[in-house]
Amino acid sequence: MTQQHPDERTRIRGAMDRLLAGRATLSNGSLTIAALAIEADVHRMALIKRHADLKNEFYERVRHETMQVPEAEKRLRETVAKLRKTIANQKAEIDELRSQVTGLALAGAVLTQGEGTSAEPVPTPDNVVPFRPPTA
């Protein structure tokens, strides 16, 4: 580790304390990783990649000390709820389409069965070419 990393970790921990105490000096004070990075004066990706343990610690502290759910988790939960609703709607639509297909298949079967059981043949116009030759 270079000398920069311990200094970053110290700044990140200090920024965590300030944000959780509501005394933000550089950021807007929101309890997000972006605000933590601004408050600690480190690049956000450094916080996410190099100091992932501190990022997780921050989220845990937000949950336990403020009894709040982090913003990122709130957004994810909202997205999951929307997706579950979409899936339920799609399943209902698929079930409806399956029942329509079944009904149409049965109607087609009835119509094709009805053709062969009639006593007299159905006259065909001169301009119609049958797909199958008539059975004798």
Please report, for the chain, the start and end positions of each structural domain, with discontinuous segments joined by +. 7-68, 70-100
Alpha-carbon distance of 11 to 5, in angstroms, equals 10
Residue with the larger pLDDT of the pair 129 and 52:
52
CB 48 within 8 A of CB 33: yes
Q: What is the pLDDT of residues 59-110, one digit of tens each?
A: 888 888 888 777 778 889 999 999 999 999 999 999 999 999 999 999 888 8
Question: pTM of this prediction?
Answer: 0.51
